[in-house]
Amino acid sequence: MSVLPESNLALEVRGVTKRFDTRGIRIPLPWSKKKGDDKQVVAVDDLSLTVERGQIFGIVGSNGCGKSTLVRIISTLLYPDGGTISVFGHDVVEESETVRRLINRVSVEASFFRKLSPLENLMFSGQTYGLDRETTAARTFEILGRLGIDEAQVLRPLEQMSRGMQQKVAVARGFLTSPIVLPLDEPTTGLDPASKRQVQKFIAELHAEHDATVLLVTHDMAEAEKLCDQISIMAGGKIVASGTLSGLVEQAGLEGGRHGLEDVFLHVVGHAFDEEPEDKKAGAAASDQ
Amino acid sequence: MLTSSIQLRGAWAFIERNFRATRRYWGWEVVFLVYSIVNVLAVTYIAPGTEALTGVGATTDFMVIYLLVGTLVWTYLNGVFDAVAFMISWERWEGTIEYTFMAPIKLVTMLGGSALFSILYGLVRTLIVIGVVSLFFTLNVADTDFLTATIFVLLGSVGFLGIGIMAAALPLLFLERGTQMTIVVQAMLLLVSGIYYPVSILPDWLEPLSWISPATYILEGIRGAMLDGKSVFDMSAELWKLFAVSLISLPLGVWIFQKAVDYAKRTGRLKRYG
Ligand SMILES: Nc1ncnc2c1ncn2[C@@H]1O[C@H](COP(=O)(O)OP(=O)(O)OP(=O)(O)O)[C@@H](O)[C@H]1O
Ligand SMILES: [Mg+2]
Which domain CATH number covers A204?
3.40.50.300
A109 CA: distance to closest CA in chain B (Å): 9
Judge if A161 and A95 occupy the same domain: no
ipTM of the complex: 0.89
A236 assigned to some structural domain: yes
pLDDT 10s digits, A201-233: 999 988 988 889 999 999 999 999 999 999 999
Judge if A79 and A219 occupy the same domain: yes
A3 assigned to some structural domain: no
Q: What is the pTM of this model?
A: 0.89
A222 assigned to some structural domain: yes
- Distance between the two ends of chain A, CA-based, in angstroms? 35
* Distance, CA of B109 to CA of B40 (rounded, Å): 34
pLDDT at A28 over 80: no
pLDDT at B24 over 80: yes
Q: Which of B82, B97, B106, B79 is CA-nearest to residue B11?
A: B106
Examine the fold and report which residue of A178, A205, A228 is the final residue of a domain before the chain moves on: A178
- Give the DSSP letter of residue A76: T
pLDDT 10s digits, A107-141: 988 899 999 999 999 999 999 999 999 999 999 99
Backbone angles phi, psi at A155, to 5 degrees: -100, -5
A171 assigned to some structural domain: yes
- Range(s) of the domain holding residue A206: 9-103+182-287
Judge if A71 and A92 occupy the same domain: yes
Picking from A63, A122, A127 by the largest number of B CB atoms within 10 A of its own CB, the best residue to mutate is: A127
Residue A284: the pLDDT is 45
Residue B145: the pLDDT is 79
pLDDT at A22 over 80: no
Query: Mean per-residue pLDDT for B236-248?
Result: 94
Judge if A173 and A97 occupy the same domain: no
Judge if A218 and A135 occupy the same domain: no
Judge if A91 and A13 occupy the same domain: yes
A280 assigned to some structural domain: yes
Examine the fold and report which residue of A122, A153, A178 is the final residue of a domain before the chain moves on: A178
Judge if A118 and A96 occupy the same domain: no
Examine the fold and report which residue of A178, A198, A219 is the final residue of a domain before the chain moves on: A178
pLDDT at B214 over 60: yes
* Distance, CA of B153 to CA of B147 (rounded, Å): 10
Judge if A269 and A126 occupy the same domain: no
Q: What angle do CA B191, B195, B197 make, to 5 degrees?
A: 90
- Name the percent of chain B lying above pLDDT 70: 97
Judge if A202 and A60 occupy the same domain: yes
- Name the percent of chain A lying above pLDDT 90: 66
Cβ(A40) – ligand 1 distance below 6 Å? no
For residue A234, give the ligand 1 atom closest to its CA.
21
Query: Mean per-residue pLDDT for B244-254?
Result: 95
* Distance, CA of B84 to CA of B123 (rounded, Å): 14
Residue nearest to atom 27 of ligand 1 (CA): A288
A145 assigned to some structural domain: yes
Q: How many domains does chain A have?
A: 2
CB contact set of A92 (below 8 Å; sequence gap of 6+): A73, A74, A76, A84, A85, A86, A99
Query: Mean per-residue pLDDT for B52-81?
Result: 92
CB contact set of B262 (below 8 Å; sequence gap of 6+): A79
Query: Mean per-residue pLDDT for A54-73?
Result: 95
* Distance, CA of A272 to CA of A217 (rounded, Å): 19
Amino acid (1-letter code) at residue B212: I
When pLDDT is cut at 50, 70 and 90, the band that residue A6 belongs to is low
Judge if A257 and A117 occupy the same domain: no
Amino acid (1-letter code) at residue A122: L
A1 assigned to some structural domain: no
pLDDT at A239 over 90: yes
- Conformation bin of residue B231: beta by default, left when phi > 0, alpha when psi is -120 to 50: beta
CB B192 within 8 A of CB B206: yes
Judge if A99 and A201 occupy the same domain: yes
Judge if A174 and A186 occupy the same domain: no
C-alpha A125 to ligand 1 mean position (Å): 26
pLDDT at A3 over 60: no
Cβ(B104) – ligand 1 distance below 6 Å? no
Cβ contact, residue pair B98, A129, below 8 Å? no
Strand partners, A14: A84
Cβ contact, residue pair B174, A100, below 8 Å? no
B109 CA: distance to closest CA in chain A (Å): 9
